[in-house]
A and B are shown apart, each in its own frame.
Chain A
Amino acid sequence: MTITLKVNDLAVSAEVAPRTHLADFLREDLLLTGTHIGCEHGVCGACTVLLDGEPVRSCITLAATCAGRDVKSIEGLERDPVMAALREAFSAEHALQCGYCTPGMLVTARDIVLRLPDADEDRIRLELAGNLCRCTGYNGIVRAIRRVLSHRPEVTAPSLPPVTRGTFRQFSLDDAAAPPAAQISAKFTGDGLHETLSIALPPEQVWVALRDPALIASCLPGATITSRDGDRIRGEMLTSLGPIQARFKGDATLTYDDMARTGRIAGSGRDTASGTRMQAEATFRLVGNGPAASTVEIDLTYALKGPLAQLGRGPIVRVFAAELAAMVARNLEARLRGEETPGAGAALHAGGLISHVAWRWLRDLLSRFHVR
């Protein structure tokens, strides 16, 4: 798509792909390499530029959404009086060493000087929290900003207009409950979870089923076995949680102890799109409770490494795993009773499923705690 915008006071018209972010557009298309890319996910601040006068992360701003707007990169601030004072102060206070973070630091520092003329050292440090520097330990940077704040050039911060008033169309209240689904039953352990599954069938019958990897896989929505060689299984699993999607491909080893009616499955997989790696191990134990009742005790541990682990933080992954476990338990039970399994074979829409589970849990919680 073609966009027209202002970059460093010059009108620019260019062809950009929708997925190109502003930092790449500045660096690769306009050769404005003063904008640095560090983490490329909005954490390090190296790519900070001005968009309509306000600092933004150019690595998580799509260039195509900047049409008609005013972009200023570090190159465009050469004659800016505050930036001139900051450059001098950064030099005098040894506020840089390798210089990688410096363009972003300067843009943020300029914002601090203009927006917070009374900022003390604590406030400066707080405002700098979004710009990482691995060389200086920040002391020189903070001193430089304080120096400029104490001899501030004669400039006033552009005042931002109030948000425009208007009216919204309002519709009737809908606080109806989401459809009920399975509830988390797992207990969270130190590094995984423990699930107990009660099945109203004889243990002999349940053990036969547990010995069938294809059947177990069919109870895990989104999972497919692609090949099997003895106790080694190759397969993949498709999951989604809100906007997050992952397709883990990998292999696992299955071992059984028929005498003790215990088993263990251990495997690892990789989502090629994001490079996330997953390792998981489950041990299970079948106990008979009379002629027509069985209990399966499952202990699951897992480890996620890579982008998904970063975005899906510990507690989220744990709840996700617990909901998966609840799903498998429910499907396995249905399978063993000869019923259709609702989600089997279909791609796992764990989001939907999970949300129902989490919803039910929340509702139960509310009913328990709603006292007023």
Chain B
Amino acid sequence: MKPAVFSLEQPVSVAQLMQSGEGRIVAGGQSLGPMLNFRVAQPSHVISIAQIREFSLVEETEDAVIIGACVTHAAIADGRVPDIGKGILPAIAQGIAYRAVRNRGTIGGSLCHADPAADWLCTMTALGAAVLTLRPDGGRTIPLTTFVLGPFRNALQPGEIVQAVRVPKASPEARWGYYKACRKPGEFAHAMAAVFLDPARDIHRAVIGAVGGAPIVLEGSDVRIESAERALLQSGLDEIGRIMQLAALRRAMEQAA
């Protein structure tokens, strides 16, 4: 199908963006595009932020990598963005959808879209990432655990936009694992789990994605199957789905062991 009629604005700078009217923000359009074509989303005004140069930058600090919202999955997969250590970011990016989608899809767009089955949503939550927002009067740093409110819902207020995501660097002795179950590579996952263990920074975390709502976060001694089993009861998954999730978690834990 074809999208319903909408008007389009393409600001090229943050200053221009702040002058924009109200509209549905689109970055790479790899999730919103299909929704527009299906007409399950019919915004009257669309603001494309892909041309905003400030959002396509990357900054490396002593303890973190800050990735602009419009940096593509492909740029991360190719190592064109500094890694946080252990090859974590390229490994995750490489598994997102297909190359043609990775060339357009962006990390900021993926996090804002908050599809429960999104790779970045699950893994960035595990890595303790936070989004940096901008709004006319300043901005905020929002940890992903509070940024994602539910499926396709985030904590942004009207007029507020994600400019970048701040990902803390991993210690040299950090361990991690990520496993997702797809019927075909690149499809929406039926189960996914990320495990991140960084004792030097006192982090023991497992995150289960592809559930009905926001990702399930398990911390400390709850990084174990029994705790996940209990948490999954309210996830909207049927029994087979829950069993798949536990298998994904087991495999991610084995990778991180």
Contacts and interface: CB of A to CB of B under 8 A. Distances in A.
A41 interface: yes
Contacts of A372: 202, 204, 219-221
Contacts of B204: 372
Contact of B101 (A42, A173, A315): A42
Interface in B135-156: 138-143, 145-146, 149-153, 155
A316 B143 contact: no
A315 B235 contact: yes
A112 to B, nearest CB: 9
Q: Which residue among A17, A184, A315, A362 has the maximum number of chain B CB atoms within 10 Å of its CB?
A: A315
A137 to B, nearest CB: 14
Contacts of B211: 315, 319
Interface stretch (B42-50, B172-180, B247-255): B42-50
B33 A61 contact: yes
Contacts of A60: 29-30, 33-34, 37, 104
A29 to B, nearest CB: 14
Contact of A273 (B39, B71, B117, B150): B39
B186 A167 contact: no
A194 to B, nearest CB: 13
A341 to B, nearest CB: 22
A130 B101 contact: yes
A134 to B, nearest CB: 14
B57 A165 contact: yes
Given A178-B146, A244-B35, A371 B220 contact: yes
Nearest to A185: B234
B114 interface: yes
A82 B198 CA distance: 46
Given A108-B100, A355-B150, A19 B6 contact: yes
A73 to B, nearest CB: 14
Interface string B1-38: 11111111010000000000000100001101111111
Contacts of B216: 362, 365
A170 interface: yes
Given A18-B6, A313-B188, A371-B220, A307 B164 contact: no
Given A40-B1, A351-B152, A169 B134 contact: yes
A357 B150 contact: yes
A319 B100 contact: no
Contacts of A174: 140-142, 146
Interface residues of B, number: 101
Given A19-B36, A168-B66, A369-B231, A178 B149 contact: yes
B48 A65 contact: yes
Nearest to A371: B220
A242 to B, nearest CB: 3
Interface string B100-116: 11011000000001101
B167 interface: no
A114 B48 CA distance: 30
Q: On chain A, which size bracket covers the interface?
A: 35 or more
Contacts of A45: 98, 100
A100 interface: no
The binding surface of chain A is classed by DSSP as mixed
B218 A315 contact: no
A154 to B, nearest CB: 23
Contact of A274 (B38, B51, B98, B100): B38
A130 to B, nearest CB: 3
A168 B30 contact: no
A284 interface: no
B47 to A, nearest CB: 11
Contact of A245 (B33, B40, B103, B202): B40
A168 B10 contact: no
A313 B80 contact: no
Contacts of A18: 5-8, 46
Contacts of A59: 33, 37
A230 to B, nearest CB: 34
Given A311-B38, A356-B149, A61 B104 contact: yes
A333 interface: no
Contacts of B130: 173
Given A18-B6, A244-B41, A369-B218, 10 more contacts: A45-B98, A108-B99, A130-B98, A163-B81, A167-B59, A168-B164, A170-B132, A188-B234, A274-B40, A315-B236
9 contacts: A55-B99, A108-B100, A166-B59, A169-B134, A170-B132, A175-B143, A245-B40, A308-B40, A369-B222
Interface of B: 1-8, 10, 24, 29-30, 32-43, 46, 48, 50-51, 54, 56-60, 66, 68, 71, 74-75, 78, 80-81, 97-101, 103-104, 113-114, 116-117, 130, 132-134, 138-143, 145-146, 149-153, 155, 163-164, 166, 184-186, 188, 202, 204, 210-214, 216-222, 227, 231, 233-238, 241
Interface of A: 1, 17-19, 21, 24, 40-43, 45, 48, 51, 54-57, 59-62, 64-65, 67, 108, 111, 115, 126-127, 129-131, 160-178, 184, 188, 190, 241-246, 271, 273-274, 276, 307-308, 310-320, 322, 351-352, 354-359, 361-362, 365-366, 369-372
